[in-house]
Amino acid sequence: MKKTAFLFPGQGSQTVGMGLDFYQEYDVVREIFDMAEEISKINISKLCFKGPMEDLTQTVNLQPAVTTVNLACLTVIAKEGVTPDICAGHSLGEYSAIRASDIVSREDTFRMVFKRGELMHREAEKNKGAMHAIIGLSIDVVEEIVSEAKIEGVVAVANHNAEKQIVITGSPDPVEKASTIASSHGARSIPLKVSGAWHSDLIQGAQDEFKDFIESIPFNTPQRPTIFNVTADFEKEPDEIKSIMARQLCSPVKWYDSMCKFMAENIEIFVEVGPGKVLTGLLKKILPKDYPCQIFNVNSMKGLERFLKEIF
């Protein structure tokens, strides 16, 4: 098979109904949901299949819910005999990626994302935050704008998603200030519906506690290469991977650089494994028009069938 990358989505990809057809079709998927519910004590199947969206999007529910669906999709693909050559995940999705690379066990993946969701929710309750998407400016210009707006308080780059699609994060006033400056440079600024200032110093308390929490979780040497958000690069050492995963909470997600790294690795098949189409949408903005590849979404029986039909 051609060189294949699996990409795992994070917060923002959720939909009510996600994972239902796989749950109805596969015993192994029902087992994954049961395990996730046992660890989190949350009725994840009800949230995923029936919502309401308001409850599903609460960070403490959303992180284990999206991860459950990601790993359900991954397991179904593996059952059909397909494994990735290389993996990456966007923010929360990175936990599914390190599971796909056998760095951590399935159970520990859920323990980590549930703890992460709890801690992030707690810090968001303490510190009101905002996030805006800035469309149309380069990362260098946005970083200059953020630096200028810091006089108002906490503001930072959260995600570099595509060349000129960047998310900023922080306290509401400095984020608004940075957005106003960006607009004066000709950018579009879009406020995002989020409950906290993810990937900013406003959730530093979560990062410190999460770092202590994952000390007790066994991390293994990756069985396949994984590109990490914090570095946009590979890492083989388990202890360094732990450090990267802790730092990820308050560090920018270098997604654009990560996808450029995939191109340098000559990836021919990209598969978004999990709900929604956010990552394939970004990929189509990032890849040159003449880059030779196939792009798939596997989040339903229909998507799985199309993927298998095309590659076999």
Tokens of 307: 């993927």
Provide DSSP, 58-123: SHHHHHHHHHHHHHHHHHHHHHTT---SEEEE-TTHHHHHHHHTTSS-HHHHHHHHHHHHHHHHHH
How does strand 227-228 pair with strand 86-89?
unpaired
* DSSP H/E element including 281: helix 278-286
Instruction: Give the span between the Cα atoms of 204 and 292, in whole angstroms.
Output: 41
Contact 121, 195 (CB under 8 A): yes
Q: Which residues pair with 191 in a beta bridge?
A: 132
Tokens of 93: 């999705």
121, 132, 160, 199: which one is catalytic?
A: 199
Instruction: Give the span between the Cα atoms of 218 and 36, in whole angstroms.
Output: 18
Best CA proximity match to 7, nearest among 275, 237, 289: 275
Instruction: Give the span between the Cα atoms of 83 and 225, in whole angstroms.
Output: 12
Single-letter amino acid, residue 242: K
13, 40, 45, 91: which one is catalytic?
A: 91
Tokens of 252: 């920018």
Catalytic (active site) residue 132: no
Instruction: Give the span between the Cα atoms of 3 and 270, in whole angstroms.
Output: 9
Q: At what angle do helices 59-79 and 106-126 cross, to 10 degrees?
A: 160
Instruction: Give the span between the Cα atoms of 37 and 289, in whole angstroms.
Output: 43
Please give the backbone phi and psi of residue 224, each rounded to the nearest 5 degrees, phi first: -150, 155
Tell me which DSSP letter residue 226 carries: B
Instruction: Give the span between the Cα atoms of 93 and 242, in whole angstroms.
Output: 15
Catalytic (active site) residue 199: yes
Residues assigned a catalytic role: 91, 199
